[in-house]
Amino acid sequence: MRLPVPKFKVLLYGPDIPARGVNGRAHFEESVLVVQAQGHWFTVPGALLQLKLDGFDGRQWVLVWQTPSGPVTALLQGEDAVELFIKLAPPDVSNALKLERGAHGARIRSLRIWSALLAALALVLVVGSGLLWRNAEKASLWLACQISQEQKNRLGELALGQMPASLKLLERGEVLNTVQFIGVRVSTGSRLRYNFHVAESPEVDAVALPGGHVIVYTGLLREVKNASELAAVLAQEASHIEKRHTLGNVIHALGWRAVLAALLGDSSSPVWDGMATQLRTMRYSPELEREADNEALLMLHRAGVSSAGLLSFLERGAERERATGGASAIPLPIEQRVADLRAQIAAQPAYQSQPLPVDWQRFQDALSRL
């Protein structure tokens, strides 16, 4: 009778795999790594595995191997998975991981000591001057600007993975293709590489995640009247990420533990467990909304897309709030935002915009079938 083969958990990323990754299990059969996930199967000789570090806490180890379609990455999920991998891997692979892990642990301990001292000094200076109390939002935005792009990307992937299973993300189809096409167009020339998602939800809302993920709800898509308005919505959400509003608000909401975790580059801290909830319920201050409006205008200008869609969408949001007396995805004071936006558009230099090549009726038909 053959005994069960011990397996460890992995999170797979790579070609033909959704951007948020898929969960899987792996085990060794002699010197060959066998990985099974949703619709994916890999067998990799141990000699072809590459071991890399991903993160700052000494636990985010990844295995990398090449396939005809490109590299595949398997993130070892948690300390238990790392320990089991070391135990089960062939001696040459296991020994290499042990040596690198020990050296990295020493580096991390040293880095954390210095980072903690610097963080404590920074916080003492901020608190001592009264800025943390009187300008908490600005202080959080400043901290968000100090975090590396790699760390922002990791937090964005973490937040995407925390989204509830009930928030179903579309995997394919006309609606997703249109959103992604327009999203890529409006983010032309950005310093970030954006990923645009569509979630089936009646809420008139969207969620911007650190690092460049934008989730648009189908309820919001049903409110936009044309491709120009959809471009404006996507540009506005991307602008909150460009200006670091999203991460700054998360740090502000989660408190001082998030400040320390951010300064230490610790993406595995339990403080981030509530990040997705904060992002889904987040509302920006009027000042941040105006900043995002101005940034969105610049993005639309750079992409050669008309800014008229941004103004018309906000004007309808103002009408909806006046009619219902409640808050929508666009926070008050909406009338002032519209007035400021009109002034900004009037002050913009004239530019040649091109219609977006989108079959809007086809898009609406596909949306109605969801």
Looking at residue 219, its pLDDT comes to 92
**What are the structural domains, with CATH classification, of the chain?**
8-100 (2.30.29.30), 141-368 (no CATH)
Reading the block at residue 281, the tokens are 């319920």
Answer whether residue 365 shows pLDDT above 90: yes
Those residues with Cβ within 8 angstroms of residue 238's Cβ, 6 or more apart along the chain or in another chain: 183, 186, 187, 190, 192, 194, 208, 212, 214, 296, 299
User: Which whole number is the average pLDDT over 220-240?
Assistant: 93
The pTM (predicted TM-score) of the whole model is 0.60
Closest CA to 308 of 235, 234, 239, 229: 229
pLDDT digits (tens, 9 = 90+) for 34-93: 988 888 889 988 878 887 766 444 456 788 889 888 888 888 866 677 777 777 777 766
- Chain Cα centroid distance, residue 128: 33
**CA-to-CA separations, 43 to 27, 47, 178, 189, in angstroms, rounded:** 10, 12, 36, 40
Looking at residue 218, its pLDDT comes to 93
Mean of per-residue pLDDT scores for the chain: 78
Looking at residue 338, its pLDDT comes to 80
Looking at residue 7, its pLDDT comes to 80
pLDDT digits (tens, 9 = 90+) for 9-51: 888 888 888 877 888 888 888 788 898 888 888 998 887 888 7
Residue recorded with tokens 């100090």: 146
Alpha helix stretches (DSSP H) within the chain: 79-88, 91-129, 131-134, 136-146, 149-162, 174-186, 218-221, 227-242, 245-254, 256-264, 275-281, 286-303, 308-324, 334-347, 360-368
